Chains A and B, each alone.
Chain A
Amino acid sequence: QVQLQESGPGLVKPSGTLSLTCAVSGVSISSPNWWTWVRQSPGKGLEWVGEIYHGGTTYYNPSLESRITISVDKSKNQFSLNLSSVTAADSAVYYCARQFHGFHSWGQGTLVTVSS
């Protein structure tokens, strides 16, 4: 059974960097899937943040492209999100997901609040 688990600080200061990790179990991160981050601001809809293939190819939401990096750590079977220069608008529940013709597996989500 594929499982994903997000981890990282729940509170980030404005202008700081949001860093999250998604631990993957039940499947190799080198399998033919895209590893994706999706976020959801409180009371709002879902926003695709970006994704990475195990070979390192990445795609980012153009609205975040100047601030975002997604990377894979094959040795730990996990992938990570870094979002710099955060503002209150980046406060959201961040989900990691496994994508292969749709997002088939999701983490439980982690709430990140940007506040001083």
Chain B
Amino acid sequence: EIVMTQSPATLSVSLGESATLSCRASQSVGNNLAWYQQKPGHAPRLLVYGASSRATGIPARFSGSGSGSEFILTISSLQSEDFGIYYCQHYNHWRKTFGPGTKVDIK
């Protein structure tokens, strides 16, 4: 099983500032990595797939980077609607796994 880890567990960011979220895989997943945002009571929403491709309708302030086992999601100029929990997930193997999440709250 490929284990996904995320850091930090919680991130407090002021409006307009940028946020950097990290995700690490226990072995290489190539660029088969996706990022999701989840708000309370809602299903996750796909933000990025293929490590760096934005999903349909996702604002340009969300950007993904990395390959292999180290990945970054950057949210530039944080907006109030960007609070929530962010999960990374690999799909390099039939057994998909998610990271534990990073909670982003507004400072």
A: which residues have CB within 8 A of B? 36, 45-48, 59, 61-62, 95, 99, 101-104, 106-109
Partner of B96, one of A48, A106, A107, A109: A48
B50 touches A101 (CB 8 A): yes
A104 near B98 with CB under 8 A, answer no
Chain B residues 70 to 87 lying within 8 A of chain A, measured CB to CB, are: 87
Chain A to chain B contacts (Cβ below 8 Å), 26 pairs: A45-B98, A45-B99, A45-B100, A45-B101, A46-B36, A46-B89, A46-B98, A48-B89, A48-B95, A48-B97, A59-B94, A62-B1, A62-B95, A101-B34, A101-B49, A101-B91, A102-B48, A102-B49, A102-B91, A103-B34, A103-B44, A103-B46, A104-B55, A108-B42, A108-B43, A109-B43
Roughly how many angstroms separate A70 CA and B32 CA in the complex, as a whole number?
24
Bound CA–CA A45/B101 (angstroms) = 7
- Chain A residues, Cβ within 8 Å of B89: 46, 48, 102-103
7 A-B pairs with the lowest CB-CB distances in the bound complex, closest first: A102-B49, A102-B34, A106-B43, A59-B94, A48-B96, A46-B98, A101-B49
Given contacts A46-B98, A62-B95, A95-B43, contact A103 B32 (CB under 8 A): no
A104 touches B95 (CB 8 A): no
Cβ of A18 to closest chain B Cβ, rounded Å: 19
Q: What distance in Å separates the Cβ of A59 from its nearest Cβ neighbour in chain B?
A: 4
Kindly state the separation between the CA atoms of A95 and B1 in the bound complex, as whole angstroms: 22
B98 touching A107, Cβ below 8 Å? no
Complex Cα distance, B34 from A62, in Å, reads: 22
CB distance from A90 to the nearest CB of B (A): 18
Assembled-state Cα–Cα distance A102/B46 (Å): 7
CA–CA, A113 and B98, complex, Å: 23
Closest residue of chain B to A101 (Cβ to Cβ) is: B49
Best-buried of A36, A101, A102, A106 by chain B (most CB within 10 Å): A102
